[in-house]
Amino acid sequence: MVQQPVTQPPKGFTIWQAAELGVPSRNGRLTWHRTRVEDFSHDGQQIIVGWPMVQLAYVSVHRGDLVYLGTTVPDDALYVVPCEVLTTLLEPQARLVLAPVGPWERMQRREHCRVSLTLVPTELLLLPAQGDPQPLKGTIMDLSAGGLRLRLPQSLRLGDRLALRFTLPGQPQAISAVAVVRRIAPVEHADPPRWDHGCQFERLDRRTEDAIVRFVFQRQRELAKQLRSDTRH
């Protein structure tokens, strides 16, 4: 995964290009709405987009909300960045002023909000189709209510199933889940070699999903607050 500095849009990012605004629902799932980039500051710290509408009503966003901006760079890929809504404007045109609060990432568009972290599971097992579970060692690199990115010293296979148990920072109750490997990529310049595995959760119960959503939103609020503090100093 290629990450750009927080304040720098990807090369080829231009005014008037088509974009999509991802707005989180209460369960952490993103709904994407078409918009376009209308302006952005030279340092990339503010981006102005059109305020999208659904059935003749403006999409419900407010100052201080966390949203996601996604845009496709020609001859490249989709890039997505988490943003804080700085201002909502109705006149002279309906617009949203956004401030990136994380890195631009070259990625597939996601349906869930996610957050980066470094967390070692207390239990990590490979679940073969036959035979006993095999213990593994790895690190969770990011997390959402839909899945996680797991870094391992070996490459698994697409479709492999994993059982995980981990405790989120600030939450007393451990989370147990089963996930399926959907994507695999080597970590560039890693010595010794490492592989990132994009994993999708299988049938999270409501309590577990709510706990992950609360954690993700809290971490992103903390990130937005820290970024605002840094820009004032």
Query: What is the per-residue pLDDT across 35-53, written as a single tens digit (0 to 9) for each?
Result: 999 999 988 889 999 999 9
pLDDT in tens, 210-229: 788 878 877 777 776 666 56
Q: Are residues 147 and 88 located together in one domain of the fold?
A: no
Query: Does some domain include residue 224?
Result: no
CA atoms of 134 and 65, how far apart (whole Å): 42
User: What percentage of the chain carries pLDDT values higher than 90?
Assistant: 50
Query: Does some domain include residue 233?
Result: no
CA atoms of 148 and 146, how far apart (whole Å): 7
pLDDT in tens, 143-159: 988 899 999 999 999 99
> What is the predicted pLDDT for the residue at 106?
72
CA atoms of 100 and 195, how far apart (whole Å): 28
Query: Does some domain include residue 11?
Result: no
Task: Please list the residues that pair with 75 across neighbouring strands.
Answer: none
Amino acid at site 159: G
Mean pLDDT value across residues 88-117? 82
The total of structural domains in the chain comes to 2
Query: Does some domain include residue 46?
Result: yes
- Statement: residue 28 has pLDDT above 90: no
Q: Are residues 131 and 102 located together in one domain of the fold?
A: no
pLDDT in tens, 64-76: 998 989 888 766 6
Query: Does some domain include residue 1?
Result: no
Q: How confident is the model at residue 111 (pLDDT cuts 50, 70, 90)?
A: low
> What is the predicted pLDDT for the residue at 4?
40
Query: Does some domain include residue 122?
Result: yes
Q: Are residues 105 and 127 located together in one domain of the fold?
A: no
Q: Where are the beta strands (DSSP E) in 137-174?
A: 139-144, 147-152, 161-166
Contact of 9 with 40, CB cutoff 8 Å = yes
Domain holding 127, by residue range, is: 115-217
Query: Does some domain include residue 175?
Result: yes
Query: Does some domain include residue 225?
Result: no
Q: Are residues 148 and 167 located together in one domain of the fold?
A: yes
DSSP secondary-structure letter at 136?
A: -
